[in-house]
Amino acid sequence: MASLMMTRLWAGREFVDRIARQSPARLALTVFAGVILVFTALLSLPAATASGERAPFIDALFTATSAVCVTGLTTVPTGVYWSSFGQAIILVGIKVGGLGVMTLASILGLAVTRRLGLTARLLTASETKTTRLGEVGSLIRVVIITSTSLELAIATLLLPRFLYLNETIGEAAWHSAFYAVSAFNNAGFVPTAHGLVPHGSDWMLLVPIMLGMFVGALGFPVILNVARRRSKFSRWSLHAKLTVVTSSILVLVAWTWYLIAEWTNPLTLGPLGWGQKLLSSAFLAFMPRSGGFSTMDPSGLHEASWLITDALMFVGGGSASTAGGIKVSTLAVLMLAIVAEARGDQDVDTFGRRIPRDSLRQAVAVTFVGATIVLVSCLILLEITGLTLDVVLFEVISAFGTVGLSTGITSEIPTSGQYVLVALMFVGRVGTMTLGAALALRSRRRVIRLPEERPIIG
């Protein structure tokens, strides 16, 4: 019996290894779905709710998906509905989703066996966008050290502030840790009843959350590259330069827009003083990159600001980061290609480097697929809910970009619509990542090339 079991386990391992080598992204997709089901089962336990009653399946599934996909959209208030045990499950889900399921598995395997096999390297490389398998071990160490250190640093900065707010040491430590993990992993979950709304003018509370979210959204490959090259910008990789520069530009542009457009809006910045307006508009600018926290109701924004927020959420953060969206490097490549076309240049150049044509094709494919997913999801939700396009589009892009900002309709739409958002969060977290990995690894060689003919464009 024992030998038969060992034979079956070995056969199963060989099957998994073969699948991993053939399609790491596909196996990562399957494992990610399995992890969500595990957290759904945990949140379905009566002990996970504050009332002691079993949570409805849709609420458990929606919350588990939102946590593992580091989104932040909820059908029930996190700080009120879930017990301390339930919130701890959510926090672990955020940590697992932020690190990446395959990255976490590789960390555990490394801790047990002290080495990484080819399968683990392939899986982790597909998830973290590492092109060299030899860098996987270094990247894992950076992931562990960076994520843990930054989360501890954020929690340390937040702890005195929560103590000042008359919380007990236990409450302050828990809230500090929860907000730190949620911020760095761009999850947007809040453990308190009213979230950050009562603290819209609190610099000591909001600034650490913004900085943690920004660094987490850069991506682990960028953190690894910057840590190695330190402050020498000229020695950074092209990807690191594009990610940092584009992310900074997006934040500055959004900050300026929100400050000007919402200056007199009585529902947002209007009643605030100068300092509060600067802080609140900055917080608004950081959050659509996948942070998902809010100090004011997003439904109070002008429709023009909604549109800007939609665009920022669709772009998201850096590749292989805790953020979602099509990624800032994708946007950067597309914009550089437009500039090159306008100038009549044959090559797309930047920072002294030429961007390969296959990278441009990949960027176009990821953007088009993402836009198609958003379009189809909007059509489905419009039919299910009967709501207007502006609120549906906001919610759809927030789910797809794993942002978590909401106009308040998530908990009100029919259950079928909530299942659509669950699928969107899942696809938004792993879909474009899988597509990008598949396109990057696929290279079909043709012996015969067809004659060239230029179609009319535009």
- Confidence tier at 201 by pLDDT (50, 70, 90): confident
Residue with more model confidence, 320 or 365: 365
**360 close to 270: Cβ distance less than 8 angstroms:** no
Rounded to two decimals, the pTM is: 0.85
| Mean local confidence (pLDDT), 364-391 | 92
For residue 31, CA distances in Å to 105, 137, 320, 355 come to 10, 21, 17, 33
Return left, alpha or beta for 123; rule: phi > 0 is left, psi -120 to 50 is alpha, else beta: alpha
Q: Which tokens hold the place of 197? A: 């709304």
Share of the chain above pLDDT 90, in %: 47
Q: With a cut of 90, say whether residue 124 has pLDDT above it.
A: no
pLDDT tens per residue, range 220-260: 778 877 877 666 788 888 888 999 999 999 999 999 999 99
Q: Which tokens hold the place of 326? A: 């099509």
Distance CA 298, CA 359 (A): 35
- Mean pLDDT for the chain overall: 82
pLDDT tens per residue, range 135-178: 555 566 667 777 888 899 999 999 999 999 888 999 999 999 99
What residues have CB less than 8 Å from 443, skipping those under 6 apart? 358
**288 close to 375: Cβ distance less than 8 angstroms:** no
Three-state SS sequence of 382-395: HHHHCCCHHHHHHH
SS3 210: helix
CB-CB neighbours of 127 under 10 Å: 27
For residue 415, CA distances in Å to 75, 180, 395, 411 come to 10, 31, 15, 9
Sign of CA dihedral 154, 262, 389, 416: positive
pLDDT tens per residue, range 354-374: 988 888 888 898 899 899 999
